[in-house]
Amino acid sequence: MNENQAVQYLESMIGQTLRIHATDTRIFVGNFKCTDAARNIILGQTYEYRFPTPSAVHDAAVETEKQESESSRVASPNLKVNMTSRFIGLVVVPGQHITKIELEETPQQIRVREALRKQ
Protein backbone atom coordinates (compact mmCIF):
# COMPACT_ATOMS: atom_id res chain seq x y z
CA MET A 1 0.00 0.00 0.00
CA ASN A 2 1.49 3.33 -0.99
CA GLU A 3 1.23 6.47 1.11
CA ASN A 4 -1.73 7.88 -0.82
CA GLN A 5 -3.69 4.62 -0.44
CA ALA A 6 -2.87 4.53 3.29
CA VAL A 7 -4.16 8.08 3.75
CA GLN A 8 -7.36 7.26 1.85
CA TYR A 9 -7.87 4.14 3.95
CA LEU A 10 -7.43 6.07 7.22
CA GLU A 11 -9.81 8.77 5.99
CA SER A 12 -12.41 6.09 5.23
CA MET A 13 -12.13 4.88 8.83
CA ILE A 14 -13.02 8.27 10.36
CA GLY A 15 -16.28 7.93 12.27
CA GLN A 16 -16.06 4.13 12.41
CA THR A 17 -16.16 2.31 15.74
CA LEU A 18 -12.76 0.91 16.73
CA ARG A 19 -11.79 -1.45 19.53
CA ILE A 20 -8.25 -0.67 20.70
CA HIS A 21 -6.35 -3.03 23.01
CA ALA A 22 -3.65 -1.47 25.22
CA THR A 23 -0.52 -2.94 26.79
CA ASP A 24 -2.11 -2.76 30.27
CA THR A 25 -4.98 -5.04 29.05
CA ARG A 26 -7.54 -2.22 28.91
CA ILE A 27 -9.80 -2.07 25.86
CA PHE A 28 -11.13 1.20 24.45
CA VAL A 29 -14.20 1.22 22.19
CA GLY A 30 -15.08 4.49 20.49
CA ASN A 31 -15.46 6.48 17.28
CA PHE A 32 -12.22 7.01 15.39
CA LYS A 33 -11.49 10.74 15.10
CA CYS A 34 -7.87 10.98 13.96
CA THR A 35 -4.31 9.73 14.27
CA ASP A 36 -0.84 11.21 13.91
CA ALA A 37 2.67 10.22 12.84
CA ALA A 38 3.39 8.80 16.33
CA ARG A 39 0.42 6.39 15.91
CA ASN A 40 -1.54 8.11 18.69
CA ILE A 41 -5.27 7.59 18.15
CA ILE A 42 -8.08 9.86 19.25
CA LEU A 43 -11.46 8.25 19.93
CA GLY A 44 -14.73 9.99 20.75
CA GLN A 45 -17.73 8.63 22.69
CA THR A 46 -15.37 6.07 24.20
CA TYR A 47 -15.94 3.32 26.75
CA GLU A 48 -13.04 1.79 28.65
CA TYR A 49 -13.24 -1.90 29.57
CA ARG A 50 -11.07 -3.61 32.18
CA PHE A 51 -10.69 -7.26 33.07
CA PRO A 52 -11.77 -8.13 36.62
CA THR A 53 -9.13 -7.97 39.32
CA PRO A 54 -7.84 -11.24 40.79
CA SER A 55 -9.63 -10.43 44.05
CA ALA A 56 -12.94 -9.95 42.20
CA VAL A 57 -12.49 -13.33 40.49
CA HIS A 58 -11.66 -14.95 43.84
CA ASP A 59 -14.71 -13.38 45.53
CA ALA A 60 -16.98 -14.54 42.69
CA ALA A 61 -15.55 -18.07 42.92
CA VAL A 62 -16.12 -18.20 46.68
CA GLU A 63 -19.69 -16.90 46.28
CA THR A 64 -20.45 -19.40 43.50
CA GLU A 65 -18.99 -22.24 45.57
CA LYS A 66 -21.11 -21.20 48.55
CA GLN A 67 -24.30 -21.08 46.46
CA GLU A 68 -23.60 -24.47 44.87
CA SER A 69 -22.94 -26.12 48.23
CA GLU A 70 -26.20 -24.73 49.64
CA SER A 71 -28.22 -26.03 46.69
CA SER A 72 -26.43 -29.42 46.59
CA ARG A 73 -25.56 -28.97 42.93
CA VAL A 74 -22.43 -30.28 41.27
CA ALA A 75 -19.73 -27.62 41.06
CA SER A 76 -19.49 -25.92 37.68
CA PRO A 77 -16.01 -25.79 36.15
CA ASN A 78 -16.78 -22.42 34.52
CA LEU A 79 -16.94 -19.10 36.30
CA LYS A 80 -18.09 -15.93 34.54
CA VAL A 81 -17.08 -12.54 35.84
CA ASN A 82 -17.95 -9.43 33.82
CA MET A 83 -15.45 -6.85 32.73
CA THR A 84 -15.84 -3.45 34.34
CA SER A 85 -16.59 -0.51 32.08
CA ARG A 86 -16.91 3.22 32.24
CA PHE A 87 -17.70 6.00 29.80
CA ILE A 88 -14.72 8.29 29.29
CA GLY A 89 -15.76 10.33 26.23
CA LEU A 90 -12.85 11.76 24.24
CA VAL A 91 -9.55 9.94 24.74
CA VAL A 92 -6.06 9.86 23.25
CA VAL A 93 -4.57 6.37 23.20
CA PRO A 94 -0.76 6.66 22.93
CA GLY A 95 0.59 4.75 19.94
CA GLN A 96 3.33 3.00 21.93
CA HIS A 97 0.66 1.40 24.17
CA ILE A 98 -1.54 0.01 21.37
CA THR A 99 -1.28 -3.76 20.89
CA LYS A 100 -4.26 -4.39 18.63
CA ILE A 101 -6.86 -2.41 16.67
CA GLU A 102 -10.15 -3.92 15.55
CA LEU A 103 -12.95 -2.46 13.46
CA GLU A 104 -16.36 -3.03 15.04
CA GLU A 105 -18.95 -3.65 12.38
CA THR A 106 -22.70 -3.94 12.66
CA PRO A 107 -24.33 -7.03 11.08
CA GLN A 108 -25.57 -4.82 8.22
CA GLN A 109 -22.04 -3.52 7.53
CA ILE A 110 -20.75 -7.11 7.45
CA ARG A 111 -23.43 -8.11 4.92
CA VAL A 112 -22.59 -5.14 2.67
CA ARG A 113 -18.85 -5.92 2.86
CA GLU A 114 -19.47 -9.58 2.00
CA ALA A 115 -21.74 -8.62 -0.91
CA LEU A 116 -19.08 -6.26 -2.29
CA ARG A 117 -16.42 -8.93 -1.91
CA LYS A 118 -18.47 -11.40 -4.00
CA GLN A 119 -18.77 -8.95 -6.94
Domains of the chain: 3-52+83-118 (2.30.30.100)
Neighbouring CB atoms inside 10 A of 48's CB total 19
Q: Find out whether 93 and 43 touch, Cβ atoms under 8 Å.
A: yes
11, pLDDT greater than 80 = yes
What is the DSSP-derived secondary structure letter of residue 96? G
In angstroms, the CA 12 to CA 45 distance is 18
More confident residue, 13 or 79: 13
pLDDT score of 80: 82
pLDDT score of 92: 97
The pTM of the full predicted model, rounded to 2 decimals, is 0.77
In angstroms, the CA 67 to CA 114 distance is 46
Q: Find out whether 93 and 40 touch, Cβ atoms under 8 Å.
A: yes
pLDDT score of 72: 61
Burial class (CB in 10 A: 0-12, 13-18, 19+), 54: exposed
55-90 tens-digit pLDDT: 888 888 888 888 777 766 565 667 888 899 999 999
